[in-house]
Amino acid sequence: MMSREELLNAFENKKEQEIPVSFWHHYAKDEFVPANEHPEITGINVEGHAKYVDDVNPDFVKLMTDGYFQYDFQNVTDVHDLHSLIQLTNIPNDYWWLKGQRDLIKKQKNVIHGKYSFYNVFSPVTILKWALVDETKEPLTNGDKRFADLYAQSPELLHDVLKKIAGDINKQVDAAIDAGADGIYYSTQSIQDDRADNKDFFDYIQKPADFSVINEINRKAPINILHVCGFDQAKNHLEWYTDYQLQIINWSTHVDGYTLGEGKKLFGDRVVLGGFGITEQDVLYSGTKQDIQKEAQRIVSEAGTKGVLIGADCTIKRNTPIEHIKWAQEAVHALTK
């Protein structure tokens, strides 16, 4: 097991004695199902973490938010209507969504053997766009279109709605760190619609909402991860995120056009995380031991061994073979011994 000192050296962009490796996946069949309606999800989540950490022994752990993807819009009668959304009131600190996550994190921490952990938190933009779609009946990208519809109606109202949502995400951040998470894995993503694919939208809508949460994250914890999410081939302008002041950067090297080494340069030599793809066609899922270990060696050779953490573009598939993850770990760890 990598020592905490060795891990912190990597997190702090120092020369690594051994390169940290970590992958993660969801444990519930549907991570969007709310835990207050299906309390069994908490047990599935915690037991999943326990088995995965025992089987894989990752160098650090991302604590999964299964059961808490959905946010309750208090005092809002119609999330598709900006004039209703602007009536949003913030949730109290003893609300089930916060209390449940505190309880979940404490239980997760009890089964990961003291490993350094980052708790997943989604951006206000992501939280709102998911509320605009029924993920059981239609593609999540329909939420992007409806979000852009709201933007077209009134950028000013949308800006103010996101500011209110950010207030509750900040409470989520506080709850996570107070419950024992070492840091936050902050997941944000550009809206996948041509009307939002411009700097005016990014600078007025997305960045202020993100910065509000990032400021709170940094106030609560010294080491955190920025995840620019490329799940399901979502594309982001990675260069627009370079002034997001989180300490470790993770993005889709297979979608956004920057290798791990190129991204490290783009972000001013900050610590980077990732390298492996997450689809069934990518080598981590479908490759042989030789294929996977060759890819691990290629990624490290390109990115270097200072301030580099090896993982994936995003959450890997639930049925990714455990031995494939171990093969990647074995190859990466051997490179700095």
Residue 262 scores a pLDDT above 70: yes
Query: Does residue 318 lie in a domain region?
Result: no
Tell me if 316 is assigned to some domain: no
Report if residue 76 sits inside a domain.
yes
Do the domain assignments include residue 306?
no
Query: Which string of DSSP letters, residue by residue, matches 16-46?
Result: PSS--B------SS-TTS-TTT-THHHHHHH
Q: Is the pLDDT of residue 273 over 70?
A: yes
User: Which pLDDT score, from 0 to 100, does residue 84 have?
Assistant: 98
Q: Which residue intervals of the chain are DSSP H helices?
A: 4-11, 40-56, 82-85, 96-110, 124-131, 141-153, 155-179, 199-201, 207-220, 260-266, 283-286, 289-303, 322-334
With beta carbons less than 8 A apart as the criterion, state whether 252 and 289 touch.
Answer: no
Residue 337 lies in a domain: no
Which residues form the domain of 55?
Answer: 25-277
- Identify the CATH number of the domain in which residue 211 sits: 3.20.20.210
Those residues whose C-beta lies under 8 Å from the C-beta of residue 52, and which sit 6 or more positions away, are: 24, 25, 27, 58
Give the pairing type, strands 117-122 and 61-63: parallel
The answer as to whether 284 is a domain residue is no
303 domain residue, yes or no: no
> Residue 103: what are its φ and ψ, rounded to 5°?
-65, -45
Domain total in the chain: 1
Instruction: Give the chain's mean pLDDT.
Output: 96
Question: pLDDT exceeding 90 applies to what percent of the chain?
Answer: 91
pLDDT at 15: 82
| pLDDT score, position 337 | 60
268, part of any domain: yes
For range 213-232, the mean pLDDT: 95
> Rounded to whole angstroms, what are the CA distances from 38 to 46, 127, 213, 225, 255?
14, 20, 28, 29, 34
> Is pLDDT at 124 greater than 90 in this prediction?
yes
Of 222, 320, 226, nearest to 266 by C-alpha is: 226
Name the DSSP class of 195.
G
pLDDT tens track for 79-121:
999 999 999 999 999 999 999 999 999 999 999 999 999 999 9
